[in-house]
């Protein structure tokens, strides 16, 4: 873990030795946007929450159907702070409001303006974790330090994502692949970036033993987000299709699931992902967190029904248009 923490500086020197790598410009979050977030966070903080977070909004954050699309990014940052305050993760662990605000601004600026793995995605994952913690009242049997690690890892799990997958990093021989190796390239980069943030202030109030434990737990949680471990179709379609076009332009053969020329359809892929990954994982988690069963299973089952119906409807329409031909051809 200590080696990962110093990887960012080593990456810079390694990139100078890459002769055949393909690097793509990443749309960064501008500093002006980060300053806007900071100004909003510097407004007066209320007890157990943050400025402009009402009781009804806090209760809404605890629901699995909370919609982040209804709020501007400044408010989402305030909501994130309210989650840390509501779970009592600040004062009891030596985290001041200033340290938390700095961390949230750095997290915001470290997410790039890419189609999927952006600050909106960061918020959605963190809010769902918060929802599960509240639904099962985990603070009654889980130490606050563990909850801090969980919420922090959720916020940091895709930091500085370039919008191009591990498959692209390996195939294009990018600087990230050279730095972190061919396995879990991005997850290791997210972790290194996270360690550079949390060590500057968020975890500085912990004891040395707590600090070491928190780093290990956050590392384990972030590295566990590598979807290659699940052998399933990933569903970030916008980024994947853009990546496939870029790969073809560079003479790299895209993965079939990411290639719009061979892709079998969003509904079919979503059914495969939800039925093969999301539903089994959430079902297993529901056995551990029985009080959170509704939060875990109801939304997933609803989405599976939606895409199953959509797939059936699409198949019927295409069958009629093709005179009864098969919906999907084999590749």
The residues that are catalytic are 117
Do residues 232 and 273 lie in contact, with contact meaning Cβ atoms separated by under 8 Å? Answer: yes
What is the Cα–Cα distance from 228 to 120, expressed in whole angstroms? 23
Do residues 209 and 200 lie in contact, with contact meaning Cβ atoms separated by under 8 Å? Answer: no
Asked if residue 230 belongs to a known ligand binding site, the reply is no
What is the Cα–Cα distance from 249 to 257, expressed in whole angstroms? 17
Query: Which structure tokens are listed for 224?
Result: 């566990």
Do residues 175 and 72 lie in contact, with contact meaning Cβ atoms separated by under 8 Å? Answer: no
Asked if residue 259 belongs to a known ligand binding site, the reply is no
Asked if residue 309 belongs to a known ligand binding site, the reply is no
In degrees and rounded to multiples of 5, residue 207 shows phi and psi of: -70, 165
What is the Cα–Cα distance from 306 to 219, expressed in whole angstroms? 35
What is the Cα–Cα distance from 163 to 32, expressed in whole angstroms? 22
Query: Which structure tokens are listed for 287?
Result: 């056995």
Rg (CA), the chain: 21
Binding site residue list for Zn(2+): 121, 157-158
Binding site residue list: 121, 157-158
């Amino acid at each position: 873990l200590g080696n990962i923490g110093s990887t960012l500086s080593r990456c810079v020197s390694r990139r100078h030795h890459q002769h055949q790598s393909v690097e793509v410009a990443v749309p960064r979050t501008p500093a002006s946007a980060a300053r806007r977030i900071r100004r909003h966070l510097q407004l007066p903080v209320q007890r157990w929450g943050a400025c402009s977070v009402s009781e009804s909004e806090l209760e809404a954050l605890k629901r699995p159907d909370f919609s982040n699309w209804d709020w501007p990014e400044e408010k989402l940052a305030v909501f994130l702070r309210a989650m840390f305050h509501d779970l009592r993760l600040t004062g009891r662990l030596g985290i001041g409001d200033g340290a938390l605000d700095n961390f949230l601004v750095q997290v915001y600026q470290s997410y790039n303006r890419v189609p999927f793995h952006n600050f909106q995605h960061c918020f959605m994952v963190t809010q769902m974790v918060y929802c599960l913690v509240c639904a099962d009242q985990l603070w009654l049997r889980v130490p606050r330090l563990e909850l801090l690690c969980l919420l922090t890892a959720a916020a940091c799990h895709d930091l500085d994502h370039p919008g191009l997958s591990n498959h692209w990093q390996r195939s294009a021989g990018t600087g990230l692949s050279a730095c972190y190796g061919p396995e879990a390239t991005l997850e290791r980069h997210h972790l290194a970036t996270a360690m550079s943030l949390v060590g500057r202030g968020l975890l500085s109030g912990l004891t040395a033993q707590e600090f070491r434990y928190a780093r290990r737990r956050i590392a384990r949680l972030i590295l566990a987000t590598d979807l290659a471990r699940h052998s399933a179709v990933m569903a970030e379609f916008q980024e994947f299709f853009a990546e496939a076009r870029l790969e073809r332009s560079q003479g790299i053969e895209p993965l079939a699931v990411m290639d719009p020329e061979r892709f079998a359809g969003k509904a079919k892929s979503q059914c495969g992902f939800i039925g093969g990954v999301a539903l089994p994982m959430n079902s297993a988690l529901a056995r551990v967190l029985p009080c959170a069963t509704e939060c875990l299973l109801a939304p997933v089952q609803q989405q599976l029904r939606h895409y199953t119906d959509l797939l059936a409807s699409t198949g019927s329409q295409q069958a009629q248009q093709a005179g009864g031909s098969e919906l999907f051809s084999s590749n």
